[in-house]
Amino acid sequence: MGKRSLKQRFSDAFSGLLYTIVSQRNMKIHLLVAIVVVFFALFLGVSKIEWGILILTIFIVLIAETINTSLEKTVDLITNKYHPLAGLVKNIAAGAVLLAAINAVIIGFIIFIPYILK
């Protein structure tokens, strides 16, 4: 690949994110839910600490989905035939996204329920 400028590296990174957003249905769902959560948090007036926790939680889900996409594409690059281990790698990566999403739901309940019950 050779030496690449910092500008080119950022461009490549944004290109990868854009690819994930455009091509992956689940990433679109995660982003839509994130936008809803942000508006909900604005409406309820959550604290700065709660904002920090929400933003961190949102980014963990988005990062997990991006890594999942990367692993899926890597497996697809290596083989186009069915192999149990290839399927297992994809399932494990999807499981990581599921764990991040479950965590996000739990955090959402912990933060939002007290505001809703007021």
Which residues are marked as active site? 65
Q: Is 72 annotated as a binding residue?
A: yes
Long-range contacts of 28-37 (CB under 8 A, 24+ apart): 30/61, 30/62, 30/65, 30/101, 31/62, 34/58, 34/61, 34/62, 37/108
Q: Is 50 annotated as a binding residue?
A: no
**Residue among 42, 10, 56 nearest 112 (CA):** 42
Residue numbers belonging to the annotated binding site for a divalent metal cation? 72
Residue numbers belonging to the annotated binding site for substrate? 65
Residue numbers belonging to the annotated binding site for ATP? 72
